[in-house]
Structures are given as structure tokens and as C-alpha cells.
A and B are shown apart, each in its own frame.
Chain A
Amino acid sequence: MENMKRDKTVHRGVCHLLLAMLALVLPAAVSAEPSGQAMSFTCAGCHGTDGASVGPSMPAIAGMDPEVFVDAMQAYRQDERNASIMNRIAKAYTDEQLKEMAWFFASQRLRLFPQPHDPVLAEQGARLHEEYCEKCHEKGGRPGDAGTLAGQWMPYLHYSMEDFINGKRKWPRKMQRKVDAAIEAAGDKAIPALVNYYGSQQ
């Protein structure tokens, strides 16, 4: 009996010691850096709740491929894109913070909204896409490692293509050749057709 009692006391003592250590650790913990979620929440006023922009020109970033997100933000940070506002915002974040935000948006569901579009152009765009774009922008341009085109807001797609064509944004590998070929095939209608095709997707 005596031994058992002593054992219990010792055991309890160890427990108390552990709990006491825990108690010392907990209050000492400094408040954490903002989470990826908290930083991503600040984007919603322009890009919609959880990145599901309701348009008409700010792009949806929900469901975005995380590497595409980080690449885009780094390009903005280095003034390598023809930005209006994003270059000023991107400069506030470290690489680590960009990664955390990238993971947040990658895990959000992309919501697509109907957009007014020209069905004839969209049909032409579908054929151009199949021939010149589908190889990299798979499944009609659904979110992937070549960005999100399907259902993306059309003014944003227009701006992006304008910047590529006017030399204000660096072409990804092979893209310039493919776009040139599409323009060769369809003339001035190539870009509007592609934009209407992506905008027509639900």
C-alpha cells in the first residue's frame, strides 16, 4: 500500500511537472504571423470571396494553380507585368507568404458566372483553341499549370492578350508561335474569338 501510494504521488508529480511546463510554454507563445487564409481574405474586395470574382474585369483566382499564382505575384513584384495595381500590392509579400496564399486559393472552388458573349465568335474560338492552345491549356483552359482561361472574365483575358501582343508581358514558352499561328489563320478575329470561347464556358 505504502509503495503504491508513493508511486501514485511520484506519477502525479511527473504529471504536474509536465503540465507546468506546458503552462510556461503556452502564455509565452508570441502571436503568430498572419495566416495564408488571413492574407488571402484581404484580396476578396477585388477578387471576390475566396477568389471567386464576380467580375466583370478582375480575374477569378479561386482554384488557381499554386505555381502560376506565385509566378504571377513574383512577376508583379518585379514590375515585369503591365500592372495597374498588382505591382504595388505584390511588393508587400515575401516568397513564403505568396506560397501560403497560393495554397489557400488553390484549395478554393472556382465559380463560373455567365458572361455575355458572341456565340459565333465563341464557336470559331473553340476551333482555334483546339488547334493552337489545347496542348498547354488543357480541357478547354480549365485551371491548371498554364493558368485559368475557361470561364475567366473576358475583359481580363483581353487585357492579358493585349499585353502579350504589345510586348508588355513575357510570353511563356511556345506561346508566341502558337498565337501568331492563330492570328495567321483567323486574322483580327483570332483573339476576340478565343476570348469569347473562354468567356462562353460554364
Chain B
Amino acid sequence: MTNLKRRTFIRAAGAAAALGTLGFPSLVLGAARRVVVVGGGVGGCTAAKYLRKLDPSIAVTLIESKPAYTSCFMSNEVLSGERTLQSLTFGYDGLRGHGIEVLQETVVGIDPERRQVKTAGGRAIDYDACVVSPGIGFKWGAIEGYDEQVANEAIPHAWNAGPQTQLLRDQIEAMPEGGHVIIVAPPDPFKCPPGPYERASQIALYCKHHKPRAKITILDAKDAFSKQALYIEGWTKLYGYGTDNSLIQWVSAAGGGAVEALDPSTRTLTGLVEEFQGDVVNIIPPQKAGAIAFAADLVDGDWCPVNKRTFESSRHKGIYVLGDASSAATMPKSAYAANSQAKVAAAAIVAGFQGKEPDDPTFVNTCYSVVGEDFGISVAAVYRLNAETNTIESIPGSGGVSPANASPEIRKREVSYAHSWFKNVINDMME
């Protein structure tokens, strides 16, 4: 044999061995593969469920510090009183029913060399692949005078659903007739781009019926926002937007909406041009990836770069970063995006275990916003990978927002579909 032939033979033998394992990974390789999922939100839960769905021989452990999941999507309806926080809270028994081990612990580190996840309780859990879906963290210090303690006790962000959502609801209910609510909207990129404006809408829905002389001011760090034309259409129709009696006012960054400081004792915000004082103040701070993404060295700047074919971290092999924490433009940081990314990552992990190349990925995002009674709007997109530019792009000619000036019937249907969307996302991620 010449050297060339021998090398070819070795490659050929390797390929034959890989072929032999197709379809029988656990039989050929012995012990079952284990995937550890860090984070029990949309990305983590969906990945765990779909890994088991695609290959039931894979052992999946999901680690989450909270005993139950509370969805941030639809939590603006808690502020209007349309639903309770309890109606957004779901346990992990559905996932356990799929054979997933769910541990209530806090992950403090990931060792990509030894392939181990470390918990605050001192455990080290081995993995063959690790999925990290921690959601967002906040850039405290971006607004002087606003920190985590102030947020917990007095000026909630309520941008992760939970006690702060209830605090904000209680404050809105307790404020005087004719009170002033201020929402400080963050700069891009942030979780749930239409969320601050749906929040203003839902608070307006409550005020319209209970405190009709109230005012809601959005102080924005941006000059434009998601679904803007549709929100303005809805606000005009429902809340008198553009008139002197409008329930909602939006102040763009250019119009002096960017906020530099907060005085929590007087609930006064300092803008570039003027000061704003509110009876209720809700600050949605600038955002970055969740804490574990930083502890595990998965970030570049504020977010986690990934291979957009697989969502494997560009920084550490064998770790897949999903959802809000990942850098996945042009997909938004949304629940549906995380759900879609999780299925791509799960398929890529399974393909990897079987020695196969992953297929080209396919993604969808849909997002509904309830602007008010019988007034729902949506955005949708179907995405593909552009391998040449390594970007996720919306398929030309598809997607987009609800049409302007749609019939009242369609706007009403979109409210119904928004609630159906909620139930099905929850079902698909954890039931």
C-alpha cells in the first residue's frame, strides 16, 4: 500500500464506522448520551422535550432554579386585570412525563473541557451536549439611581414575570384617579420588542374603565418601535391617541424620551430635556444575556454568538445557546423564536450524536399583541439560514405585520388567536 492508499483507507474505514452507527447510537456506543439543559424557560423546555421526542434514548436533565415557570408573554394582561399571574404559572411535571429529569438548582458554571455543569449545591453533572437558555439579564447602572433593590421594592421592571408584575399591577390599582403612569422603554436589542407598547395598551385598557382621566407616558430610548403603525392605529381608535385627552403618550428619544436618572423617592425621571414625575413608574432597563452566559464565558459583548445552523456556541464546542441570550438576528428575542431555535438545536444535537451533518435549519416567529378590546395585531416571519453571510434571514416575500386598517372582524380574531397562541406555545414547550 502506498501512503496515499493507506490514508484513503483510514478515511474510508472511519466513514464505514460512522455509517455503521447510524440509527443505533446507543447500541453501538454503549451508555446513553446525556444532554443537560440549563434554564427552564421556552428555549430550555422546548429543547428538552424535542430531544426526547427525536431520540428517546437520550437522557435529558433540565436544571432550573425556580419551582415553576411563569410566562412573561401575556403578563401584560395581568396589568389590565384581564388575567392573574397564577394563570401564567406552570409546573414541570409535563416534562417529567416525557422522561426528563428536572432539578431545582442554580447553575453556577459550565466546564466545556470536562463537559460538566456545576450547580450552587456543589454538584457536577456530566454532559455530552449542553443547552443554555438563560433568558435576559439587566444592565444595572444604565439609569442612575435604578438598581435591583429599587426594582424589587418600589419601581418594578416586571420584564421577567413574577412578583414585580403583581407589584406593578397593585401600584396601578392603587394610584389616584387621574394618575400618571410612566413606562421607560429600553434601547434595542431587548426581549419582546412589541412588549412595552402592549404594556402601555393594557394599562390604558384598565384605565379606560377605571381611571379614565389617567395618563400613560412612554419614555423611549428609540425613535421607532415594533408594530408602531398598528399600535398607533389601535391607540387612536381605542384610547384617543393624538388628541388632548389621549390616555397614551409616546415620547421618542429625539423628542426627549431618553432617560438618564431616577429619583426613587419622588418617582422623578431625568431626561435630556426635561424631568418627568409619575404616580407609577415602570422602568424596563437595557438588557444583556442572563448571568450564567457570562459565568460560562459564552458571551461576546452583551449576547452569545452562535453557529446559526445549529445554535452551538461560537465560543465553546458542545454548548448550545438558545433564545433571548443568543445573538440570532434577524430573529427577535421572543418566545416563539426561542421555541423554534430549540427545535433546530435539538435536531442538530441528535444529528451530531449519530455522526450526521445537520440539515439546513428552518425557523418561524409569530407574535401577537393585544392592544385592547377586540383589537389584536400580529407579526410573523419564516426564516432560513443564509450560509454565505452566516445570518438568519426572513424568506423574501413572506412574513410581516397585520395589514393596516384591517376589518374589525380580523382584529377581533387576532385577540382570540393571541390567546390560542399562548396555550399552544405553553403546550408545545412543557406539556
Spell out A's residues near B (CB within 8 Å).
16, 19-20, 22-23, 26-27, 29, 31-35, 38-39, 41-49, 53-58, 82, 84-85, 88-93, 153, 155, 159, 162
Query: Among B12, B359, B421, which residue has its beta carbon within 8 angstroms of that of A46?
Result: B421
B319-346: which have CB < 8 Å to A?
Answer: 335-336, 339-340, 343-344
Query: Among A32, A45, A58, A84, which residue has its beta carbon within 8 angstroms of that of B364?
Result: A45
Within the complex, the shortest CB–CB distance from B339 to chain A, in Å, comes to 5
11 A–B contacts, CB within 8 A, in A order: A31-B309, A31-B357, A31-B358, A34-B359, A41-B343, A42-B382, A45-B364, A55-B420, A84-B406, A85-B417, A89-B366
How would residues 364 to 394 of chain B score, 1 for a CB under 8 Å from any chain A CB and 0 otherwise?
A: 1010000000000010101010000000000
Q: A57-B416, A58-B420 are in contact. Are A19 and B16 (CB under 8 A)?
A: yes
**Interface bin, chain B:** 35 or more
Residues of A within 8 A of B399 (CB): 88-89, 91-92
Residues of B within 8 A of A57 (CB): 413, 416-417, 419-420
Query: Among B11, B416, B424, which residue has its beta carbon within 8 angstroms of that of A45?
Result: B424
Question: Which chain B residue lies CB-closest to A19?
Answer: B12
Query: Among A35, A39, A48, which residue has its beta carbon within 8 angstroms of that of B428?
Result: A48
Residues of B within 8 A of A49 (CB): 49, 427-428, 431
Pairwise interchain contact A38-B347, C-beta atoms closer than 8 A: yes
Pairwise interchain contact A53-B382, C-beta atoms closer than 8 A: no
Pairwise interchain contact A23-B427, C-beta atoms closer than 8 A: no
Prevailing SS type, chain B contact patch:
helix
Within the complex, the shortest CB–CB distance from B4 to chain A, in Å, comes to 10
Residues of B within 8 A of A44 (CB): 339, 424, 428
Pairwise interchain contact B339-A45, C-beta atoms closer than 8 A: yes
Pairwise interchain contact A35-B359, C-beta atoms closer than 8 A: yes
Residues of B within 8 A of A48 (CB): 424, 427-428
Query: Among A32, A46, A93, A155, which residue has its beta carbon within 8 angstroms of that of B416?
Result: A155
| Complex Cα–Cα for A88 and B416 (A) | 18
Pairwise interchain contact B11-A20, C-beta atoms closer than 8 A: yes
| Complex Cα–Cα for A42 and B399 (A) | 14
The 9 closest A-B pairs by CB, nearest first: A19-B12, A92-B382, A92-B398, A34-B362, A42-B364, A91-B398, A92-B395, A58-B420, A23-B12
Query: Among A22, A54, A82, A91, which residue has its beta carbon within 8 angstroms of that of B16?
Result: A22
B390-431: which have CB < 8 Å to A?
Answer: 395, 397-400, 402, 406, 409-410, 413-414, 416-417, 419-421, 423-425, 427-428, 431
Pairwise interchain contact B416-A56, C-beta atoms closer than 8 A: yes
Pairwise interchain contact B360-A33, C-beta atoms closer than 8 A: yes
**B50 interfacial contact with A, CB 8 Å:** yes
| Complex Cα–Cα for A33 and B414 (A) | 32
